[in-house]
Structures are given as C-alpha cells and as structure tokens.
Structure 1
Amino acid sequence: MLTDLELSSLVSLFSAQYLSEKEIYLLKVLGEIGREVSIEELSQNYKDLLDKYDLDPNGVQSLSELLRVKGLVNIHRFKKAIIRTTQKGAQNIESFPEERIVKYLLDKGSVARIRDLIEVFGEDYASIGLGFAKRRGWVDIRGDSVYLVKQGSLDTHREVLRRALQSVYKEELNIDPEIINELKRRGLIEEIVREEIVLELTSIGRELASSELERRIITRLTSDLISTGLWRNYVLKEYNVEAEPPELYPGIKHFYRDFIEYIKEVMVSLGFDEISDEIVIPELWNFDVLFQAQDHPAREIHDSLILDTEPAKLDIYKDLLRIVKEVHERGYDTGSRGWGYVFDFNRSARLLLRSQTTAATIRYLYEHRDPPQRAFIIGKVFRRDVVDAKHLPEFYQMDGVIMEKDMSLRKLMGVLTQISEALGLGKPIFKPGYFPFTEPSLEGYLKIGDLGYVEIFGSGLFRPEVLRMISVKYNVGAWGFGVDRLAMAYFKLNDIRDLYSLSINKLRTMYSASSEIILR
C-alpha cells in the first residue's frame, strides 16, 4: 500500500493537474468492479455503484478521458454491429406477405387467380408476397393463376425481428447470415455500427483506486479559507489559460426555411406580391375553376387527399358555380364544347388538402380582375406520391400569375427565365407540355447533380374557359415551381429527402451553404 506522500508524488508525476473528486470516485468505481468494463455496461449494470459515488452516467466518458491523459486508465475502442427492427419490420412480425399469400391459398383450396390476390392484398403487397413465395418454392404461377406447392416457415425470420425490436448485437443473434441479409434487403431490419468503449485501470490507477486518498479541489480562495488556514486541506485547481472555449451551437432557423425566405425576397424584388391561402379548400378552387373535369383521374380518392368531413358551404359563390357548370358542360360562350358531362355541385363542395397552389392564385385573380397583376404564393401541397429520391407526398410549391394587357407565351418564357436566373439557377430548358387549365403549356427543366435534367415547373397561358369562369378578360401567364426540387438544384442534392434530414452534420453543412446563398 502506498503512503499519502508516495500517492501525492504519483499524482504529481502522472498528471499535469491534480485529481478531481469525480475522477477519484470513478477510480474507486472501477476498482470495486475489478475488471475491464464498457461504459455501456457501467451505465446499465452498475448504476447503484455510480449513484453511491454521485456519478452521472453521462459524464463517465469525459472523466475516463481525463484519467487516460493522466495515465490512470486505458481506453479500448471496438466497433460492434447492432441489429434493429425497422417500422416496416415491426409490421411484419406476426405474418410476412408470402405467409399471408400461402394462408389465402389454403383457404381457397390451394389455387387462386392473381387478380383476386391483388384485389384482396393490393397490387404492391401481392407482388411482394408472390415474389418471395415463388422464390422459396412455396407457389407456382401458371397463366393468371397461383398454385400452392408447399407450406414453409419463417419462424427464424420472426425471431430476428422480435429480438431486434429493442436492438441487439449482431454477434448475439447466432442466426444464418443469409437470413440477416435478406431482412436487410427487404428493409425489415437495419444494421448500425456502434463504437463500444471499454475502460481498464492501469497499474497506477489500481494503486490509487485501492488507497484512502481523498482530495478536494477548489477553484478559488476565499477570505475565510485564508484566515482559518483551511486552505491547506484543499488543492487549488490549475487553469489552462490557453484552452479554447467550448463550441456552442445556438438555435437557428432551418436552412430550407432560409431558402424559402430567399425565394420570396427575389420574387418581391421582381415586382410580385406575395399572397396566402388555406391548406384545406373545396374542390371548386382546386379543380373546377381550373377546368379540370370532375371525372379526371387526378380527382379520384387514390390521388387526392379528400377529407372525411362535412362539405363546404358555397352559397356565396352561386353566380360563379352557375358559370363553372355551363363552361364544364357546354363551354358556355367561350367557343369551347366543354367536357360534355353533367356537372355535380356536391363534388365542388368536397373538402381536400390542396394538391396545387394554383388554387390560391386562381382565387386571387377571381378577386383581382383588372391588370396589371403579379402575384405568387409559396406553400405546402399534398398528394398521394410514393416516397423516393424525387417525390414526397407533402412538399412546397410556388405558384405565380401575371395578368397584363400584352401578355403572351414569349413574355411568360422571358419572365420564367428571369426568375430562374435571378435565383442563380441559369437558363431553363423549355419543352411543350399539357395541363388541363393552360393552353399552350410548357414544362421547364433544370439540371440537378447526378439526376440530370429534372422538371422544375409547369407553365402556360390560362385557357379561355378558365378566364371566363373567373370573369377575367386579359391573358394570364401562370406557372408552378416545385420548391423542393428547386432547392435540390440549388444545393446540388441527389435525394429530395435530404431537405428534411435529421443528421445534425448535414443540417450544419446545408445551413452554411444557405448562408452563402443569402449573402450572395
């Protein structure tokens, strides 16, 4: 056993500073455990011991680094793979798609038509289930029918999903790697590499941990300590005046919000007025006034998000609805034949999450019918899109309109090029397009990273039918920008989902890029 004098000498020899009270306590904890221990195990299995010495588990790593610098603790780092069940995996724990297909076939006498499976399970789910069932040799597909060949079991797959619900080390699963890889490919589990930090006392650390050394550190002297002589019982903490202050990251605005504000500033500088509108609107504004037929596929519940609620009250729009009905059915006095169907006022009153911000600009024109008018809106729209690198079901859109006495397609193309160049995106490529409410119509493309040219906006001159419905007598140029895709072009992103990343490092990088754009 070392004497106090020898211990004091050791502390001075192996440390640029004296041991703090917390450092001594961590040494004692490691001494009582008496073996190597990971920080994770220390926090989970030795919480009572940490509480005994009033040590916060979250502070163990920083304390261990201080002890490592002083030669009292060795730190070993290991990479360990952790398997965790995804949300999709949790939904498949009770039954995999291929198992449900087999069960259905058993109930139907071992044979069923493919279209019946699609009707029961949906096209995507049935396709996944049939694909894996056929791969496992459980079914045979001949013509338009599916035949059950044999039953199989996926109990091992389910075991992995259940054990990984709370995360589990890959090495502890002891499962066929092919099963693990299959579940990863199907997106049912994810593999995360985590660093495990193991602490081990050095020989000097063990000596100190087993001693009775108790040192109290103070950071300043008081008059009482000096006058009573108690200062001799303490150690004054040494200060490193060259130490850098800690980095602080205050709350800041999200980089995408900054980018949207930047677009608004550019649009206002080009002479446009910003407008706003509701997210929940009747189909009258989202479709009818835009001359989109009530039997148009985009208006089906599979594409639009219709609210299960009472319809809107449209009594104040009786005159408008009368004209809309005439235009849709026969073209009214526009020279058009209309759509040739019986217009349904009940469809006009259905409420939905707006699928296009054109609904806001057309309502603005209905209330502002005399030129000149330049207006824009940036807001969220909602559609039933499958999430991928280019699509989200909820995204930002910018719609704009120009009403002028000499408005033409050439002038509209010039304005859109001016907007694109003012945003620093260069000149867009135009190609003919089709939209129900504009004629002629154009699509605008910009090059985005490795994705190549991506459609950024649709545009055109409002059709005579649309202008007649809102009682506007002059040509109106209109367009809709996908703001998310615009941001992808600006930040050179290949995946639209990166705009909403939860990675703090990505957010800081994108914020820096956004700041450069705004300063420029």
Structure 2
Amino acid sequence: MDIDVKSLHPLEIRLLRSVRFGEDISADGIVRELNYKLGQCNQAFSWLSSRGFIEESSRTARTFFEITDLGRSFAAEGTPEERIFTLLTKEGAKTMPDIASSLSLENRDVGSAFGQLSKEGVLRMGEGKRVELVADGPSARMGQIRKLLESGAKEERLEERSLSKEQLEVMKGISKKRGAAAAPFRVSEREEVLYRLTELGAEAKKVIEAEGLTGEEIGSVTPELLSSGKWKNVDFREYSLNTTPTRVLLGRRNPYSEYLQWVKDKLISLGFEEFDGPLVETEFWNGDALFMPQFHSARDIHDVYYVAEPERAREIEQPYLDQVAATHENGWKSGSRGWGYTFDRDFTRRLILRSQGTVLSAKQLPKAKIPGKYFGIVRCFRYDQVDATHGADFYQTEGIMLGEDVNLRTLLGLLKMFAEEVAGAEEVKYVPGYFPFTEPSIEVHIKHPRLGWFELGGSGIFRPEVTKALGVDVPVLAWGLGIDRMALMNLGLNDLRELFTANIENVRLRRRK
C-alpha cells in the first residue's frame, strides 16, 4: 500500500522516527525526548491518530496537587501556624489581636490557626485571654505541611500516587479544586493516555526512513533565508497538490449581535429615536411610575433581583415622586381613584435589576417630544425557569409613540410589523391582555414551526395615571416585545439558549433570513 508521507507535518515525522513498534508512547516521554511543548505533542498525537498511524493503548486517571501563589508564599515565609509558633517561642504568651498585629495577619487567619493548633495540643488559651505554648515543638501535621510546601515549591506539582498515606491525608486539608487561590495547593485531574504504533504507522516509519525525511525540513521561504543565502544548504518540504487546503475562516459579526443591529437600523429608518439607561433601577421607575401597586405580586423578591449594596437610591426626582405617590394614593389629577393605600417612600428607593424594558419608556416620558417615537433594545432580569423560550436575563425591544393622533389602529400596525417583518412569523394573533399601566392592553402571539404558539410580548396605551403624573397629556402607545424570541424565528432556531451558544460552528453557520 502506498503511504503519502510528504503531507506529514515535521512534528509527526520526528515523532514517528523516535518511537518503536510495540512500545508505549506517552506525552511526557515525547516532551522529554524531542523537546516538544505539550501542545505540540498533543497536536501530533491527534494528527497521527486521525491517519491511523497510532492508536490508544491505555488511559489512566491521574491527580496532581499544584502549588499556588499562596503556597509559594507559605513555603518562603511560613504558614500562619508556623509563624505563630515561632513568635510565641521567642516572645512568650500574647493575645490574639497582638499576634495578628505582630505578624500582619488577618484576625480570622489567627483564629483559624489557633483553633487547629489547640486541637493538636500545641497551644492553649491561658489567663487574660493570652495564647501560650503547650508543646515543645511543632505538631506532626505542621511538619508534613512544611515538607509538602518545600517539595511543591521545588517541583511545582506533586502527584497523588507519589504521596504517603499520611501526606495525602494532610494534603486533603490544604488543597482545593475550586477557589484554590485561598489554598496552598490546587487539585488538578487529568488522564494519561498512552499510544502505540499501528502496523500502518510502522510502515509509514519505514517509508520516512527510506526517503531520508528527518522532520527538520524547511516549510517556507523567509526573507532571512533569502538574504543570508542559507536556502542553498537546507532541505525543503515537498508539497502534495492533493492535500486539502487550509480552511479560511472569514471574520463576521455574531449572528445575534448582527440581528440586534439590524432591528435598530430598521426602527431608526422609520423615524424612531433610541433611548437607553442603567441596568440598576429603583422600584420607583421600574414599577411605581408605571402605576403598579407596591403590593403587586410581580414585585415580590422571588420575581425580581434586589441589589445588596447599596440597597437604596439617595433620592427620587421631583416633582414626579410626589405626583406618582399621590396618583397611587388617591388618583391625583388623573381622573382615577388610585389604589387607595399609603405610598411607601422608602420602598420606592429600593435598587433592583430592571425587570422590564418599560422602565425606560417611563423615564423617557418627562423629556419626550410631542409628537415623538422612541425605542430601546433593553436587557432585563427576571427570576424564571430557563427553557427553550425563557431566560433569567433577556432582551426586549421597548418603545413608545406619543401624539394627538395615535390610537389602537396605529399600535396594531406596529405589532404587525414586528411580528411579520422583524420576527419573520407567518402566523400571528392578537389577544386581550392586562397590565397595570396600559388600557386597552394587547398581547401578540406568533407560531413557531417547532415550538408552537408563544407570546412575543405585551403592549397597549398608557393609562392617564402613568402619563399625567409624568407630565404628558396626550395618548401614548407602548410595547415591550421579547427580541430574543423574535430572533428564534428569524435565525431559524429552536431554543433561546442557542443564541448564546459556545459552539463556534453553529455561530458561523447562522444567518439572518
């Protein structure tokens, strides 16, 4: 059988020349013998396996303990336990705050070290809450840790099977898989794979030797080779015209980012102005300004994400705070009776991650032009079970249109454009809905070829309780539609999570309709 060795990479040639039929081939051995980097070695293994020149002979799981920066610091300066023991040996009993101050240690580190050493009978708490020595020397565990740190600092990593039973027991207490920056050692697990030459690989090795290939052949002509004249005395690799050319991967936008930009361009071309705002908002703009009562179930801690620090904004813009508060309590000048409860001015300052894009529409009303139309591509956060059509964070296309002449017919035309032109849906239906801030309210649903009918979003005409409290006295159309769901239809996907896939091939293949 003819074997084309001209297409082999120098890494493959050198590896084949260095191994014998029937012997195990390991990455560590190749790295040592041929001075390969580990990545080069693994690449050569991958290429030769795909050609059928080598095959896997065994696979063994191995556990290593790699020393961290903290471990190197302990090896050089001593562990907190060693430093405390040394200090007390030299200077006698001290209080724990004095120990922390003398050694520049955190109180928690001193407390943790004392707890361990008192358990081992090395230290005890004496009179006046002064820590004093009990033992004449360090504990056996401290000695084991010292040996492990010194070995780790010298060798960088220690293999589990090289440790004694006692050392392994101690190592388990000073190593971590995750969050290893706070531990002296990091646990890493990997599989050691051994390979062997196949009969085809042995034949390829004979052909390589017969043709005098060394793996040192030059693969490209460089300016340095030409200018120095060295090209006359070097061997060049032969090229096979039958070799598959390298795949050219052209740069392009992420399909979802491209889709979002396309939606923006389309709305701007229709005369809309874009608005934006911070991810962190107050309960005032996220709900109160939208005439959502403060006792509404959608404002429960299980449905929105609260900010831990700081908890509240310093103040809310006036006169909107007073006007919105009065609207909730008694209707103010909106013609409504309000919700009839005492408005909580402390709760309204609570900071949250915005749960709906409509918060930006509310903030736009006091500064909007009349007539005017505005939109935003808004990232929102809402506690939800993640599935094919739901996410814990998601994007909405949010917008308003205000003026004397806008009406329900105008809104239906906009929803039709979003459903058919932006989402690309062929089957659309509009159903009545309820939102505290719009009346009438409309939900738009589209039919996905695989997922079936699902809600695209809500819309309606803002109630006077919303618009008048924010200084607007004309009709305002509003909508908040799930642009992630529109992208499902437009990009031909079946799961929202595919919009954020780490599979680069899927990302390259996706195109907007």
Shorter-chain TM-score range? 0.5 to 0.7
The answer for the alignment partner of 1:337 in structure 2 is 337
Label 1:79 to 1:214 Cα distance change in 2 as closer, same or farther (>3 A): closer
The answer for the alignment partner of 1:485 in structure 2 is 485
The answer for the alignment partner of 1:106 in structure 2 is none
Task: Please tell me whether the aligned partners of residues 449 and 492 of structure 1 are also in contact (alpha carbons under 8 angstroms).
Answer: no
Label 1:292 to 1:224 Cα distance change in 2 as closer, same or farther (>3 A): closer
The answer for the alignment partner of 1:115 in structure 2 is none
- Quote the Cα distance in structure 2 between the aligned partners of 1:384 and 1:335: 35
Label 1:241 to 1:405 Cα distance change in 2 as closer, same or farther (>3 A): same
Unaligned regions of 5+ residues in structure 2, if any?
A: 62-192
The answer for the alignment partner of 2:439 in structure 1 is 439
Q: After superposition, what is the alpha-carbon deviation per residue over 1:40-74, rounded to whole angstroms, capped at 9, x for unaligned?
A: x63256542343799921331466379x5xxxx73
Q: After superposition, what is the alpha-carbon deviation per residue over 1:334-356, rounded to whole angstroms, capped at 9, x for unaligned?
A: 23221111101111111111111
Task: Please tell me whether the aligned partners of residues 457 and 480 of structure 1 are also in contact (alpha carbons under 8 angstroms).
Answer: yes
Aligned residue among 176, 198, 201 for 1:200 = 198
Task: Please tell me whether the aligned partners of residues 376 and 398 of structure 1 are also in contact (alpha carbons under 8 angstroms).
Answer: yes
Q: After superposition, what is the alpha-carbon deviation per residue over 1:163-196, rounded to whole angstroms, capped at 9, x for unaligned?
A: xxxxxxxxxxxxxxxxxxxxxxxxxxxxxxxx99
The answer for the alignment partner of 2:328 in structure 1 is 328
Label 1:59 to 1:291 Cα distance change in 2 as closer, same or farther (>3 A): same
Q: After superposition, what is the alpha-carbon deviation per residue over 1:30-49, rounded to whole angstroms, capped at 9, x for unaligned?
A: 21xx4265xxx632565423
- Quote the Cα distance in structure 1 between the aligned partners of 2:199 and 2:45: 14
Q: After superposition, what is the alpha-carbon deviation per residue over 1:82-111, rounded to whole angstroms, capped at 9, x for unaligned?
A: 9xxxxxxxxxxxxxxxxxxxxxxxxxxxxx
- Quote the Cα distance in structure 2 between the aligned partners of 1:226 and 1:302: 73
Same amino acid, percent of matched pairs: 34
Q: Which amino acid aligns with 2:444?
A: G
The normalised TM-score by structure 2 is 0.64
Deviation at 1:253, TM superposition (A): 2.2
The answer for the alignment partner of 1:420 in structure 2 is 419
Label 1:462 to 1:28 Cα distance change in 2 as closer, same or farther (>3 A): same
The answer for the alignment partner of 1:173 in structure 2 is none
The answer for the alignment partner of 1:26 in structure 2 is 15
Task: Please tell me whether the aligned partners of residues 273 and 375 of structure 1 are also in contact (alpha carbons under 8 angstroms).
Answer: yes
The answer for the alignment partner of 2:44 in structure 1 is 60
Label 1:60 to 1:294 Cα distance change in 2 as closer, same or farther (>3 A): same
Task: Please tell me whether the aligned partners of residues 49 and 55 of structure 2 are also in contact (alpha carbons under 8 angstroms).
Answer: no
Task: Please tell me whether the aligned partners of residues 396 and 484 of structure 2 are also in contact (alpha carbons under 8 angstroms).
Answer: yes
Task: Please tell me whether the aligned partners of residues 449 and 493 of structure 1 are also in contact (alpha carbons under 8 angstroms).
Answer: no
Unaligned regions of 5+ residues in structure 1, if any?
A: 1-9, 83-194
Corresponding position: 1:49 with 2:4: no
Deviation at 1:28, TM superposition (A): 3.1
RMSD: 3.6
The answer for the alignment partner of 2:297 in structure 1 is 297
- Quote the Cα distance in structure 2 between the aligned partners of 1:49 and 1:303: 60
Q: Which amino acid aligns with 2:472?
A: V
Task: Please tell me whether the aligned partners of residues 304 and 352 of structure 2 are also in contact (alpha carbons under 8 angstroms).
Answer: yes
Deviation at 1:208, TM superposition (A): 6.9
Give the secondary structure class of the aligned counterpart of 1:261. helix
Q: After superposition, what is the alpha-carbon deviation per residue over 1:440-495, rounded to whole angstroms, capped at 9, x for unaligned?
A: 10100111121111100201111121112112111111110101111112123221
Q: After superposition, what is the alpha-carbon deviation per residue over 1:288-327, rounded to whole angstroms, capped at 9, x for unaligned?
A: 1100001111112111111121421225x23211111111
Corresponding position: 1:35 with 2:34: no
Listed as ranges, the matches of 1:253-332 within 5 Å are 253-308=253-308, 309-314=310-315, 317-332=317-332
The normalised TM-score by structure 1 is 0.64
Task: Please tell me whether the aligned partners of residues 22 and 55 of structure 1 are also in contact (alpha carbons under 8 angstroms).
Answer: no
- Quote the Cα distance in structure 1 between the aligned partners of 2:305 and 2:437: 20
Task: Please tell me whether the aligned partners of residues 30 and 201 of structure 1 are also in contact (alpha carbons under 8 angstroms).
Answer: no
Which deviates further from its counterpart, 470-479 or 418-427?
A: 418-427
Which deviates further from its counterpart, 447-456 or 201-210?
A: 201-210
- Quote the Cα distance in structure 1 between the aligned partners of 2:429 and 2:57: 52
Label 1:236 to 1:346 Cα distance change in 2 as closer, same or farther (>3 A): closer
Deviation at 1:258, TM superposition (A): 0.4
Task: Please tell me whether the aligned partners of residues 382 and 395 of structure 1 are also in contact (alpha carbons under 8 angstroms).
Answer: yes
- Quote the Cα distance in structure 1 between the aligned partners of 2:418 and 2:252: 28
The answer for the alignment partner of 2:407 in structure 1 is 408
The answer for the alignment partner of 1:90 in structure 2 is none
Task: Please tell me whether the aligned partners of residues 366 and 472 of structure 2 are also in contact (alpha carbons under 8 angstroms).
Answer: yes
Task: Please tell me whether the aligned partners of residues 280 and 352 of structure 1 are also in contact (alpha carbons under 8 angstroms).
Answer: yes
Task: Please tell me whether the aligned partners of residues 427 and 447 of structure 2 are also in contact (alpha carbons under 8 angstroms).
Answer: no
Label 1:54 to 1:207 Cα distance change in 2 as closer, same or farther (>3 A): farther
Deviation at 1:284, TM superposition (A): 1.0
Give the secondary structure class of the aligned counterpart of 1:278. coil
Label 1:79 to 1:477 Cα distance change in 2 as closer, same or farther (>3 A): farther
Give the secondary structure class of the aligned counterpart of 2:267. helix
Label 1:286 to 1:218 Cα distance change in 2 as closer, same or farther (>3 A): closer
- Quote the Cα distance in structure 2 between the aligned partners of 1:212 and 1:419: 67
- Quote the Cα distance in structure 1 between the aligned partners of 2:307 and 2:359: 17
Label 1:405 to 1:53 Cα distance change in 2 as closer, same or farther (>3 A): closer
Label 1:236 to 1:460 Cα distance change in 2 as closer, same or farther (>3 A): closer
Task: Please tell me whether the aligned partners of residues 365 and 471 of structure 2 are also in contact (alpha carbons under 8 angstroms).
Answer: no
Label 1:250 to 1:53 Cα distance change in 2 as closer, same or farther (>3 A): closer
The answer for the alignment partner of 1:188 in structure 2 is none
- Quote the Cα distance in structure 2 between the aligned partners of 1:18 and 1:244: 10
Q: After superposition, what is the alpha-carbon deviation per residue over 1:252-271, rounded to whole angstroms, capped at 9, x for unaligned?
A: 32111100001111111222
Task: Please tell me whether the aligned partners of residues 6 and 240 of structure 2 are also in contact (alpha carbons under 8 angstroms).
Answer: no
Corresponding position: 1:429 with 2:429: yes
Listed as ranges, the matches of 1:484-503 within 5 Å are 484-503=484-503
- Quote the Cα distance in structure 2 between the aligned partners of 1:199 and 1:288: 73
- Quote the Cα distance in structure 2 between the aligned partners of 1:212 and 1:53: 27
